Structure 1
């Protein structure tokens, strides 16, 4: 939210300086044939290394003709029936490749996640008695802010400021919280897209004292349940490809691996590959 967003020919372009990339998403005004050359020019001017487009199936030929390649595919991403694609153009060609150690670890995690597929889909029925889950509201901003200050460094996530949290609540975002007794120990940030009828889980924040307990495992089924009631068709999320824990967690909960976005997101000081998982 704190990166710069500009509009070109009616389409919003997100400039992410920290991640050295531009992100494009479909709008009713999008004319990709005329827009993509302008976007590439903008990326070069900002010295960004990558452009990512998240678009419906009808747009992929235009992207591919402009040098983009498909990195992930989510059936039903748009309103439950139109397939969505993540496509990438690399201005920095080095970002297209993984070294042998990265590739080996990624393959190992994929294999372990595949073996765990669907084994924990009823986890919400086993929520320990000392834990509770609820959707948070603006009255919880102080608690959320305190947790985020402990969970994140200022350079990696300035979202802990109360005014930024309020802005998220006012822009179709939800927070879910997991409490141990009366203490907020985990939050999940979710973005709702009413036009596309999909939900993106953007981030989890865990109190440092509870890291390693995999408590976010219990929040995902609640997100699925409550957003399904609201009529949303598809849930998706981007997860560090190097994270054994959460990739396996999502697979256990029935999520399907859609693909991997290479050298996509800076986590700490490292450019990470991101696995895309979905459920519909």
Structure 2
């Protein structure tokens, strides 16, 4: 079942009946009490087990008072430097404690051992470019071969056509004419941010730094499109992608516990972020 999008006043709520979870993606500050009541009604009426919210720091108190827990934050997410706070409330039988805390700690410790990486070279026979509408079939084949971690419809041609049509970016890496890796940037013009998502590399091409190459290039392209801050949520139990973001100069923002439905099971995700004003290589990219 596809994800639903609801407009509540001037606020935006996304929810997924299959995963039994809802997310407040955009909050109108004037609507905080009403939105909180709406989210609780939505969860109770549909049997949802997890409701998360991304809100400006000034309004966290409303959610904490309603039983939400602060789990992550991204400084300077909103205008005038205001922090975005990620909160969660678990309902019913949902677990609100980390089930794999030792693994999570070891992965985060591993990320701290890696310093900022230099530019990654394009592999021999490689071509790194934005996906064109005529190449959507290649993207669909790639995701269907590897599998889709989250129910985001990136293996659906219609979803991808709409994705490219609204101005978001899909970056692909072809080697000898075969698409072997991809990622995306989803822009939010209201905050000037871009969410980096849908990273995928064919198994036989992993361990070669291709994810880092994608991360570096999608950052440059996002900066050229006007994004001032990049962020992402990645699987907390996957060492490779977390280390990739650390090597890319991103900062760890927190862990969202049992927050995502990945490969058919509930998992935690880590939040990573980078303010482009702090990175001259991106802020003054030669792409301008």
Shared fold by TM > 0.5?
yes
2:155 to 160, 184, 203: 160
Kept after mapping to 1: 8 A contact 2:229/2:273? yes
Tell me what 1:272 maps to: 267
Asked if 1:178 corresponds to 2:173, the answer is: yes
Residue by residue over 1:156-208, the C-alpha shift from the partner in whole angstroms, topping out at 9 and shown as x without a partner, is 55432211211111234210011112211111022111111001012123234
Tell me what 1:11 maps to: 11
2:244 to 249, 252, 255: 249
Tell me what 2:119 maps to: 123
Counterpart CA distance in 1 for 2:147 and 2:33 is: 40
Counterpart CA distance in 2 for 1:93 and 1:18 is: 16
**CA distance 1:207–1:123, change in 2 (3 Å):** same
Q: What is the DSSP-based 3-state SS (H/G/I as helix, E as strand, rest coil) of the residue aligned with 2:187? A: strand
Kept after mapping to 1: 8 A contact 2:29/2:59? no
Corresponding pairs, count: 275
Aligned alpha-carbon RMSD (Å): 2.2
Unaligned 5+ segments in structure 2 are 276-288
Kept after mapping to 1: 8 A contact 2:50/2:91? yes
Unaligned 5+ segments in structure 1 are none
1:94 is displaced (CA, Å) by 4.3
Kept after mapping to 2: 8 A contact 1:10/1:30? no
1:239 to 234, 252, 258: 234
**CA distance 1:80–1:231, change in 2 (3 Å):** farther
**CA distance 1:81–1:155, change in 2 (3 Å):** closer
1:256 is displaced (CA, Å) by 0.6
1:253 is displaced (CA, Å) by 1.0
Q: Bigger CA drift: 74-83 or 160-169?
A: 74-83
Asked if 1:206 corresponds to 2:201, the answer is: yes
Residue by residue over 1:29-72, the C-alpha shift from the partner in whole angstroms, topping out at 9 and shown as x without a partner, is 75011221121011111111111101112221111121111111
Counterpart CA distance in 2 for 1:195 and 1:7 is: 16
Q: Bigger CA drift: 228-237 or 139-148?
A: 139-148
1:17 is displaced (CA, Å) by 2.3
TM-score normalised by structure 1 residue count: 0.90
Asked if 1:113 corresponds to 2:111, the answer is: yes
Q: 1:62-211 residue pairs with structure 2 within 5 A?
A: 62-79=62-79, 81-92=81-92, 94-99=94-99, 102-118=100-116, 120=117, 122-124=118-120, 126-152=121-147, 156=151, 158-211=153-206
1:92 is displaced (CA, Å) by 3.4
Kept after mapping to 2: 8 A contact 1:80/1:234? no
Kept after mapping to 2: 8 A contact 1:135/1:174? yes
